[in-house]
Structure 1
Amino acid sequence: MIVDYRYHIASLVAVFLALGIGIVVGSAVLGNEAIAERQKQMADKLEIQLEDLRQKNEAVQARANSLEIDNNIQKQFEKQVLPPLVAGKLAGKRLAIVEANGYGFRDDLVNTLSMAGATVQSVTTILDGFDLTGRKDRLIGDLGLENTNDNDMVKHLATETARGILTGEKQVLLNTLAQAELLKLSGDYGVPVDGIIFIGGSQDQALVKTELVDYPMMDYFLQQKLPIYGVEETDVSFSYMKDYQKKRVSTVDNVETVPGQLALVMCIAGKPGHYGVKSTAKELMPPLDQTGGGGAGQGNQGVGGNSGVQ
């Protein structure tokens, strides 16, 4: 943590000015040399403290500059080593992304998957946590839904959305939800995929609806024997990792970083587990000295079984 001494320096300068005025006034009015000498001694001490603070501030600033340089070097290094580390790891893999956090993800994630040889077939964004407020009656009419309670309807819509991502048979439903601003659709739907990436984590607790939205979708994908990879960024206020791990899927909790993206690629390539920097992670990333090769169908098996990760 960088300490800012500017406030202390400003305070000392103010004290200097007050002392200076005191010396002048005291000498003129009282003519008391003892008072003037005492004030001078205090001013000298304060000057020493001010100089000490200046030196400490310079040292802290120099340290901050050094850390910034080191950080930039590390980022450059990571960007240079990532492409050869992931190259060909996911050749031919077709993936779908479900964005459950509602606020987006960084383009470099898709770039990393592409560098590894994978194709992102579709990106489906859940908006407002499928909040039915002001939309329920319209959806019932447009989609011919039963007038059930909100939670049951949200679970149904989540399951049907997952079905539409895989089969393409629910295009009307997907388009209707998009028009109602409950979904954002991008890419090709109904195209076979080898795995699903769920992007979770939230800055708004009101949008945390893993049991209502994420779980029904995950259950459908798991029934289709598709591996799921749950990811989020490091600085989310509300983590989904613990909830995702209840479904025995692989997780990466720092996916905005190069180590996190490398861990995700290795997960998909056949090294399932829980990776990242949070308490829910078991390791930062999979060992680099082991060959992957497991294929898409092994993604969830390893998490609950062979790897021993719970």
Structure 2
Amino acid sequence: MIIDYRYHIASLVAVFIALGIGILIGSALLGNDAIAERQKQLADRLEVQLEELRQKNEAVQAKANSLEIDNNIQKQFEKQVLPPLVAGKLTGKRIAIVETNSYGFRDDLVNTLSMSGATVQSVTTVLNGFDLTGHKDRLIKELGLKITDDKQIVSYLATETARGILTGEKQALLNTLAQADLIKLSGDYGVPIDAVIFIGGSQDKALVKTDVVDYPMIDYFLQQKLPVFGVEETDVTYSYMKDYQKKRVSTVDNVETSPGQLALVMAIAGKPGHYGVKPTAKQLLPPFDTTGGVRSGPTGTGVSGNPRS
């Protein structure tokens, strides 16, 4: 963590000025040379400390500038090497994205999937964790629900949304939820897909509803023998990685980065695992062999290519 000494310098300057004023007032009113000399000594020491802090601040700023340059070079390098590393890895794969964090994801994720040869068939965004406030009675009536418990309703909506993504049979339900601003729809529904990416993680604890939103949807797709991949960005306040891993699905916890996107592509290509930079990750990337390919990692496969616990 970079320390900014500017506040310390400002404080010392204020003290220095106060002492200077004190010297002038003390000399004028008391005429006491001893008091004036003592104040001058204190002022001299503070001036020395101020100069030391200035030098430290300059050194820290120089280090920060150097790190920023290094970071920019690293990002440029990653941006240039990512396309050839993912090219053709997912040719012909059709992918559905389900976003349950409500705050969006970066376009470069879709771009990376496209560079790998995959097609993103649909992007479904669950808004505010299917918050039923102001919608419950209408949904019960329009959807003919026989249940009234909020959690049961949300789980039902989650499962049926997943069914609609895959089969296209729930278009009326999806449209009703979209009109109520409970979901956002984009793409083609009811077309064959080969994998599902869940984008989780949250900045708001109230939106963490993996047990009633993510789990029912993940369970549905796994039951249909579709591989599921759970991802999130590095800086989320509330991570979903542990929750996703309980479902034995591959995870990537830094999907906004080039390494994270590469790991996701490799996982979908048949190298399941838990990748990223957080404690829940096992490694940053699948291991590469000496010929530039990717060899199988230590993680085995469970249902539909998902990693074993």
Q: TM-score, normalised by structure 2?
A: 0.93
Q: Residue by residue, what CA displacement relative to the aligned partner does 1:196-238 show, whole Å, maximum 9, x if unpaired?
A: 0001111111111111111111111111110000001111111
36-45 or 246-255: bigger deviation: 36-45
Equivalent residue letter for 1:249: V
SS at match of 1:117: coil
Q: Residue by residue, what CA displacement relative to the aligned partner does 1:50-75 show, whole Å, maximum 9, x if unpaired?
A: 11111111111111111111111111
Cα distance in structure 2, aligned partners of 1:23 and 1:144: 85
Q: Kindly indicate whether residue 110 of structure 2 is the aligned counterpart of residue 110 of structure 1.
A: yes
Which residue of structure 1 lines up, in the alignment, with residue 128 of structure 2?
128
Report the Cα offset of residue 273 of structure 1.
0.5
Which residue of structure 2 lines up, in the alignment, with residue 281 of structure 1?
281
Which residue of structure 1 lines up, in the alignment, with residue 187 of structure 2?
187
Cα distance in structure 1, aligned partners of 2:151 and 2:218: 17
Task: Specify whether residues 23 and 271 from structure 1 end up closer, same or farther in structure 2 by C-alpha distance, changes over 3 A only.
Answer: same
Q: How many residues align?
A: 303
Q: Kindly indicate whether residue 13 of structure 2 is the aligned counterpart of residue 48 of structure 1.
A: no
Cα distance in structure 1, aligned partners of 2:306 and 2:282: 11
Q: Residue by residue, what CA displacement relative to the aligned partner does 1:20-77 show, whole Å, maximum 9, x if unpaired?
A: 2222233333332222222222222111111111111111111111111111111111
Report the identity percentage: 80
Give the RMSD, CA atoms, in angstroms: 1.8
Which residue of structure 2 lines up, in the alignment, with residue 207 of structure 1?
207
Which residue of structure 2 lines up, in the alignment, with residue 216 of structure 1?
216
1:263-278 equivalences in 2 (<5 Å): 263-278=263-278
- C-alpha contact 1:228 1:300 (8 A) present in aligned 2: no
Which residue of 291, 295, 307 corresponds with 2:294? 291
Cα distance in structure 2, aligned partners of 1:186 and 1:292: 35
1:3-14 equivalences in 2 (<5 Å): 3-14=3-14
Which residue of structure 2 lines up, in the alignment, with residue 27 of structure 1?
27
- C-alpha contact 1:269 1:292 (8 A) present in aligned 2: no
Q: Kindly indicate whether residue 255 of structure 2 is the aligned counterpart of residue 258 of structure 1.
A: no
SS at match of 1:129: coil
Q: Kindly indicate whether residue 156 of structure 2 is the aligned counterpart of residue 156 of structure 1.
A: yes
Task: Specify whether residues 27 and 287 from structure 1 end up closer, same or farther in structure 2 by C-alpha distance, changes over 3 A only.
Answer: same
Unaligned residue ranges in structure 1 (runs of 5+): none
Cα distance in structure 2, aligned partners of 1:24 and 1:148: 79
1:68-83 equivalences in 2 (<5 Å): 68-83=68-83
Report the Cα offset of residue 5 of structure 1.
1.7
Q: Residue by residue, what CA displacement relative to the aligned partner does 1:100-156 show, whole Å, maximum 9, x if unpaired?
A: 111111111001101111100000011121122221221122222213322222222
Cα distance in structure 2, aligned partners of 1:15 and 1:53: 14
Cα distance in structure 2, aligned partners of 1:199 and 1:173: 22
Task: Specify whether residues 151 and 24 from structure 1 end up closer, same or farther in structure 2 by C-alpha distance, changes over 3 A only.
Answer: closer
Equivalent residue letter for 2:73: I
Which residue of structure 1 lines up, in the alignment, with residue 94 of structure 2?
94
Which residue of structure 2 lines up, in the alignment, with residue 38 of structure 1?
38
Task: Specify whether residues 206 and 15 from structure 1 end up closer, same or farther in structure 2 by C-alpha distance, changes over 3 A only.
Answer: closer
Cα distance in structure 1, aligned partners of 2:97 and 2:131: 21
Equivalent residue letter for 2:181: E
Task: Specify whether residues 130 and 28 from structure 1 end up closer, same or farther in structure 2 by C-alpha distance, changes over 3 A only.
Answer: closer
Task: Specify whether residues 302 and 185 from structure 1 end up closer, same or farther in structure 2 by C-alpha distance, changes over 3 A only.
Answer: closer
Task: Specify whether residues 36 and 304 from structure 1 end up closer, same or farther in structure 2 by C-alpha distance, changes over 3 A only.
Answer: closer
